[in-house]
Structure 1
Amino acid sequence: MFPFDFLVSLCSSHSGGSCDAKPPPPPIASLLPFVAIFLVTSTVAHRRILPALSTLIPPSHDGDDHLLPTHAPAALRAAHSDYARKTPRRRAAALAFSSTLGLAFTLDLVVPGLVVCLVLLIPWLEVMSIVVGSGRSFARDAKGRAPRVTWILQLLLFSTWLFLFWSVGGALRRVEIDSSDASIMRASLDRIGIAGVCIMALLSGFAAVSAPWHTFGSPASRRPVSDADIARKQAGLEAAADMLVAKRHRLQVLENKAAEASSATSSVGFVGKMFSSLRGISSEEAEIRSLRLEISGLETMRASLEVGLSSMLARKLAKARAASLAGRLLSMPNYVFSVYCIFRVFTTALAILRRMVSPSSDITPADPITRTLSLLSTHYDPSLDKDALARQISFLLSGVILLLSLSSVLQTLTLLSRFAPSLLRLAQANLALLLAQTVATYVFSSALLLRSNLPAGMRGAVGDALRSSLEPAVVEAWFQGWFLVGCAATATAIWVGRRISGDDDDGWDDNFAAEEMGQKRS
């Protein structure tokens, strides 16, 4: 995470020269490697990772009232996609995504910039996406006036986020904040560190339950997937997309007509406005409301169909691999990984129970992989602390759990998305921003844990460089608790979902798709 020479120079400045260290290099020369890392990471994130994530966003609507039918030619699709990438909101999101990933990999030099991205910039863009998803628009009207209600809602939600961010951290740790920038930065990063630990623990708990469930216990993973099932799902998805384009176009026409009518009635006197208000809503306004509800339902169904289709394709590919001996051998790591996830859940629960019985003891959950890696590391360097190293490896393996169980996570989301479709749609719209937040907070939380294996003087120096005062024991305890919360919540959600939907994971989407296709033909 940090170069050794840089850590030694920090230790020298922190402990009054208690460490034997050489003088630090000139400031400009020492900055060049970190600037290069930031530029390379940001460029790769902007040119490689973001285009790959953009393919998950539905291409028929660019968020700027420009609609594109699903049967449009390739040249028109390319022009539409190029225009969508150049919209101000997409450019701001792309800049925030690449900058956040770049700042996360050059953490020690750009801590203030990372705080601005994680606390201000990315939440501002996410709140803007929520406001736009609710039917509001930030575009100016025909007279060039800004939408006052939309901006008031944006500022209100963003202020609520800032209040929750600060108040939750204050309830967690009583941090006294004075007027200096350093103490505010330290308190902010304490909250970001705890948030990163909680997020990674919840996501790892979600993945640690999803992987064994879809490997051993899910009926859908054992059910064969035929080409007819995939074709039916694909037909339902195309029908939903076509109907969505048609209804959005109709809504756009009615909204333009309503805007022209409102601008025409603005010159009417007081008596005319009073009589128009007494008439109630017109048929066009009622149709606009109805179309918005239908569009919301179609967006929900399309998102669920997309996730369901990708899940069915993954299951079919897995069944094809399992038909051969080589495929069965290649699938063995999945079973080993699922067994490790189960063992990890039990060891974490046992560590929490032991901590409840003996709060003063320092207990680290010891699964075989974590213990083996820590023992090998101590053979390489006997001065390392085995318990501290086990804590670090345990937290780093949580990221590995999340990375290796993405397929199971997507299949679990397919089951849960039907009960919270709006959250799934919102997550798809902010996928790049959410990923940047998760990566940045994970890097910062990992840096906090890595302090525990350093000498005392260097440990304090790294804490000063990170502007954080959180102790590794606090971070570990919070991670274990939230990891079990994520496991319990995921297991409960899967059980409730199975009780409601039964054994048929795909029937819900297919039934609604058939209804929508029938409406389209009629």
Structure 2
Amino acid sequence: MFAIYELSIIIGSPVLFAIGGYFFCKERLFEEKNFRHVITQILFAITFSLSCTMFELIIFEIMDILNYGSRYNYWKIVLYTMLFMCIIVLPIAISVSFLRSFFQTRKNYIVSFSVIFYGIYLFMFWKIGENFPFINEKYPLFSIEQAISRVGIIGVTVMALLSGFGAVNAPYTCMTYFLKPITEASITNMYKKVKQNQSMIASKKLKYQQLEDELNRSVFTRSNESSSNIFHRFLNSVSNSNASVKNQMEELSNDIYDLEEFGKYLDIEYKEQTYWKERADYSKTLQGKYFNVLGYFFSIYCVWKIFISAVNIIFNRVGKVDPVTKLIEITVKHMGYDIDIPFWSQQLSFIIIGVIAVTSVRGLLITMSKFVYAISSKKYAHIIVLFMAQVMGMYFVSSVLLIRMNMPHEYRAIITEVVGNLQFNFYHRWFDVIFLIAAIVSILFLYLAHRNVRVKSEF
């Protein structure tokens, strides 16, 4: 009976996660593209399922769900399958999809070039290991530990970039202090400019169409007229008139192009002003005030995280006590609760960073969806989906490596056995370095953007 219970969990949960990932890809990620690449959806769903299953297994370790042997085998199957997807299946799928979408070549050429592209990718992927001291030298070149270490460094880099940007962007998005000063009058004025520009474009297009019809009529008349001397001078005058019409059409075409480009700028400005006005109205609501307070909390935490990352880099150490740990210690001291302070403080700290990272991932997915919708047709969308699936897989593999350091020793046993004895401290140090760089760059970018808005509002 217990074996049936374990089997239902081992089989049932990945299937449920895969179904959720499949419908997320189909209904939410590229809904406006009428996305119908079934193989791409399946690959995305498998990667999504494996990612969620790894987090599920971490919970199983803490809560002691399933027996030790089942968990160990479950870990190996999930992790090895994820590596197979990230290193072999998804890169090959991306190269094949790229060649089919951008180059109209024969099938044998697609296969040949896909093999070449994959070989280049595999060479670059393996070369990563030569510059980072993240693995013990005792492991052979093509061992599973070598693969995990390389996937981990890419995933940790992505996670640190997203977390660094999210650490700065979360307070900037939530706090009313950073709201842009937009009035209803400025939005109305911008709306009038948009409509006026659209009216001018419509007027010039109508004039262009009239000139084009006139030119077509003159050409038709000339082709049907006799070439006798009586009409010779008339035909010359028609030719001169046609040249004048063509010049007018060329000028109108240039004017229409300039107005359409200016219209794009006006449309962006109008949408941006509307967005900031809606944010200002939202900030006055109860929920908006709550997020404003939350923004101040995130500001304090993110400043501390940036500071402690710099300290960790300078003194070459893994992060020590943070504000969350201190708060738990004070609470335990005054409330008298008997809990594992290091474990729960580390988990809460990781959850906060995880919330920032997940928010950033969500923002990245939305931004990429808008990017695909804006500049490409639906035949290219599946390439972006495959690329995001690979990034997602590497991201969650690296999450396991970082979470392992935040777990007590009794919960690390299986993870250590499965992934091997890697240089785990290196990943935390690398995370701090990339996080700090991403945070500083984000601060500079948002400062310049905010300053530019202030300057524009003065004119």
TM-score, normalization: structure 1?
A: 0.56
Matches within 5 A, 1:71-470: 81=34, 85-86=35-36, 90-107=37-54, 108=75, 109-128=77-96, 131=99, 136-137=102-103, 139=104, 145-146=106-107, 148=109, 153-173=113-133, 175=135, 176=137, 184-214=143-173, 221-224=180-183, 226=187, 229=190, 314-322=275-283, 327=285, 329-356=286-313, 358-359=315-316, 362-364=318-320, 366-367=322-323, 369=324, 371-372=326-327, 382=338, 384=340, 386=342, 389-404=344-359, 432-452=385-405, 456=409, 458-465=411-418, 467-470=419-422
Identify the structure with bigger relative contact order (alpha carbons < 8 Å, sequence gap 6+). Answer: 2
SS state at 2:319 partner: coil
What residue in structure 2 maps to residue 484 of structure 1?
436
Whole-Å separation in 1 of the counterparts to 2:195 and 2:41: 30
Structure 1 residues 470-489: Cα deviation after superposition (integer angstroms, max 9, x where no partner): 35533332222221111122
Give the CA deviation at 1:310. Answer: 7.2
CA change 1:151–1:34 in 2 (3 A) is same
Q: 2:119 corresponds to which letter in structure 1?
A: S
Whole-Å separation in 2 of the counterparts to 1:305 and 1:410: 26
CA change 1:38–1:481 in 2 (3 A) is same
Q: 2:349 corresponds to which letter in structure 1?
A: S
Q: 1:102 corresponds to which letter in structure 2?
A: S
Whole-Å separation in 2 of the counterparts to 1:474 and 1:101: 27
Give the CA deviation at 1:97. Answer: 0.9
Q: 1:124 corresponds to which letter in structure 2?
A: I
CA change 1:383–1:452 in 2 (3 A) is farther
CA change 1:422–1:472 in 2 (3 A) is farther
Whole-Å separation in 1 of the counterparts to 2:396 and 2:268: 29
Are 2:30 and 1:54 equivalent residues in the alignment?
A: yes
Q: 1:170 corresponds to which letter in structure 2?
A: E
What residue in structure 1 maps to residue 72 of structure 2?
none
CA change 1:306–1:122 in 2 (3 A) is farther
CA change 1:220–1:434 in 2 (3 A) is farther
Matches within 5 A, 1:65-76: none
Give the CA deviation at 1:333. Answer: 3.2
402-411 or 429-438, larger mean C-alpha shift: 402-411
CA change 1:444–1:174 in 2 (3 A) is closer
What residue in structure 2 maps to residue 31 of structure 1?
7
Q: 1:400 corresponds to which letter in structure 2?
A: V
CA change 1:32–1:352 in 2 (3 A) is same
CA change 1:501–1:228 in 2 (3 A) is closer
CA change 1:179–1:355 in 2 (3 A) is closer
Whole-Å separation in 2 of the counterparts to 1:220 and 1:372: 31
SS state at 2:421 partner: coil
Q: 2:327 corresponds to which letter in structure 1?
A: T
Higher-helix-fraction structure: 2
Q: 1:197 corresponds to which letter in structure 2?
A: V
Q: Is 2:401–2:424's contact at 8 Å kept on the other side of the alignment?
A: yes
SS state at 1:364 partner: coil
> Percentage identity across aligned positions?
18
Whole-Å separation in 2 of the counterparts to 1:39 and 1:47: 12
Q: 2:92 corresponds to which letter in structure 1?
A: W
What residue in structure 2 maps to residue 277 of structure 1?
none
Q: Is 2:53–2:78's contact at 8 Å kept on the other side of the alignment?
A: yes
Structure 1 residues 158-182: Cα deviation after superposition (integer angstroms, max 9, x where no partner): 33332222221332126447669xx
Q: Say what the alpha-carbon RMSD is for the aligned residues.
A: 4.9
CA change 1:218–1:362 in 2 (3 A) is closer
SS state at 2:180 partner: helix
What residue in structure 1 maps to residue 19 of structure 2?
43
Give the CA deviation at 1:115. Answer: 0.8
CA change 1:54–1:305 in 2 (3 A) is farther
Larger Rg: 2
Segments of structure 1 that go 5 or more residues without pairing to the other structure are: 1-23, 60-80, 240-297, 506-522
Q: 2:398 corresponds to which letter in structure 1?
A: S
Matches within 5 A, 1:3-22: none
Segments of structure 2 that go 5 or more residues without pairing to the other structure are: 55-74, 202-259
SS state at 1:222 partner: coil
Q: Is 2:96–2:111's contact at 8 Å kept on the other side of the alignment?
A: no
Q: Is 1:196–1:438's contact at 8 Å kept on the other side of the alignment?
A: yes
CA change 1:178–1:459 in 2 (3 A) is closer
Structure 1 residues 194-235: Cα deviation after superposition (integer angstroms, max 9, x where no partner): 322221111011122223344569987332473675798799
Whole-Å separation in 2 of the counterparts to 1:441 and 1:371: 32
TM-score, normalization: structure 2?
A: 0.62
Q: Is 2:43–2:386's contact at 8 Å kept on the other side of the alignment?
A: yes
